[in-house]
């Protein structure tokens, strides 16, 4: 059989192969980090997956890492950097934003909103169901998520009503699968319908669960000192991006509200924040969660 005849015979097979590869490339993680799992949307703009949050990695205390970063564009290009306020240090971008916000000029406030820090969390997950990418099922990944999902995690641990039983979503034996339900509303991913299922063990086999737990990636690695540039380095880059020559005066940072969820992946430079008024910097929900895990460690 000639090569051309073979090409004709396999035309449908080749098309099926290309369709599969196209789907893989469409759903590929935009960050390029194969450790990171990202849900995919169907043709209607909805997404569904079931994942299980895993406990803190061996030798670490918390099952999530909390990280702030800046990502914005100016005449001199992009500034994409982790924000030093993650570790309680001063940040020149936050200082400049604070000055703009306090000017009382609405156009200045809009600039500050677009340059403000964005909040992300990272956790290890076990993918129970991923219809869009079945190859991910049964594997351990890092999952980057925002405040909306983190609030659902905290609500499961600290329910609002007396008739609800607290659940530790990160527990292998008494935790619960998380049903991630995504709807696209106004161009943004909406997670309001997402929920935890009833508590159940991840597996009936402790050896299997131990094996999965040991596959978890370090979370503390996201906030080590080498992940953050110095104040002067960020200040220099900010001035270059904004096209100014004089340094911005360092000032106390006043946090605004968290941005709405975005569709971008890891370090996606297209992140934009929604307009929001200033709120106090103290995050009592995170403090409560830290206390929760400290109590677990002491028991």
Tell me 256's DSSP state: B
Distances (CA, A) of 36 to 11, 31, 70, 77, 243: 35, 8, 20, 26, 34
Buried-exposed string 30-66: b where 16+ CB fall within 10 A, e elsewhere: ebeeeebbbbbbeeeeebbbbbbbbbbbeeeebbbbb
Tell me: the pLDDT tens digits for 46-85?
999 999 999 999 999 999 999 999 999 999 999 999 999 9
How confident is the model over 258-284, as a mean pLDDT?
Answer: 38
Angstrom distance (rounded) from CA 189 to CA 264: 10
Which pLDDT score is estimated for 31?
55
d(CA 211, CA 20): 31
What stretches of the chain show up as alpha helix (H) in DSSP?
Answer: 3-9, 11-26, 92-101, 106-115, 147-157, 206-213, 231-242, 284-298
Tokens of 132: 């869009």
Structure tokens at 245: 């020559």
Q: What DSSP assignment string belongs to 92-130?
A: HHHHHHHHHHTT--HHHHHHHHHHS-EEEEEEEEEEEE-
Cβ-proximal residues to 43 (8 Å cutoff; 6+ apart), any chain: none
* DSSP-derived pairing of the beta strands 65-74 and 118-129: antiparallel
pLDDT at 244: 87
Residue 253 has pLDDT above 50, yes or no: no
- In the chain, what are the domains? 30-298 (3.90.198.10)
Least confident of 6-15, 134-143, 198-207: 6-15
In contact, 117 and 280? CB cutoff 8 Å? no
Determine the straight-line distance between the first and last CA of the chain, rounded to whole angstroms.
73
What are the pLDDT digits (tens) for 278-296? 433 434 445 455 555 555 5
The SS3 call for residue 182 is strand
Phi, psi (rounded to 5 degrees) for 265: -95, -155
- Phi and psi, residue 82, nearest 5°: -70, 145
Q: How many CB atoms lie within 10 A of CB 89?
A: 13
Whose tokens are 């604070």? That residue is 98
Lowest mean pLDDT among 7-11, 106-110, 216-220: 7-11
pLDDT at 32: 73
Q: In this structure, what token pair is assigned to residue 237? A: 């880059």
């Amino acid at each position: 059989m000639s090569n051309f005849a073979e090409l004709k015979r396999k035309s449908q097979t080749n098309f099926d192969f290309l369709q599969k590869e196209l789907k893989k490339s469409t759903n590929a993680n935009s960050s390029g980090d194969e450790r990171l799992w990202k849900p995919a949307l169907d043709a209607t703009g909805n997404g569904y997956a079931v994942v299980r949050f895993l406990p803190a990695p061996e030798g670490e205390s918390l099952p999530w890492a909390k990280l702030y970063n800046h990502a914005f564009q100016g005449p001199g290009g992009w500034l994409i950097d982790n924000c030093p306020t993650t570790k309680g240090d001063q940040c020149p971008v936050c200082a400049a934003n604070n000055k703009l916000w306090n000017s009382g000029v609405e156009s200045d406030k809009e600039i500050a909103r677009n340059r403000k820090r964005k909040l992300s969390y990272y956790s290890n997950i076990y993918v129970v169901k991923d219809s869009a990418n079945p190859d991910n099922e049964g594997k351990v990944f890092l999952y980057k998520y925002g405040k909306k999902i983190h609030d659902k995690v905290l609500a499961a641990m600290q329910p609002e009503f007396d008739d609800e039983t607290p659940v530790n979503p990160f527990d292998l034996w008494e935790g619960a699968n998380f049903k991630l339900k995504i709807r696209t509303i106004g161009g943004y991913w909406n997670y309001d319908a997402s929920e935890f299922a009833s508590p159940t063990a991840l597996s009936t086999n402790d050896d299997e669960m131990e094996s999965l737990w040991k596959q978890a990636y370090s979370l503390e690695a996201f906030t080590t000192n080498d992940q953050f540039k110095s104040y002067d380095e960020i200040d220099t880059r900010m001035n270059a991006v904004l096209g100014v020559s004089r340094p911005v005066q360092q000032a106390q940072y006043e946090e605004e509200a968290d941005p709405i969820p975005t569709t971008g992946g890891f370090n996606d430079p297209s992140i934009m924040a929604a307009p929001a008024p200033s709120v106090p910097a103290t995050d009592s929900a995170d403090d409560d969660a830290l206390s929760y895990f400290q109590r677990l460690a002491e028991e």
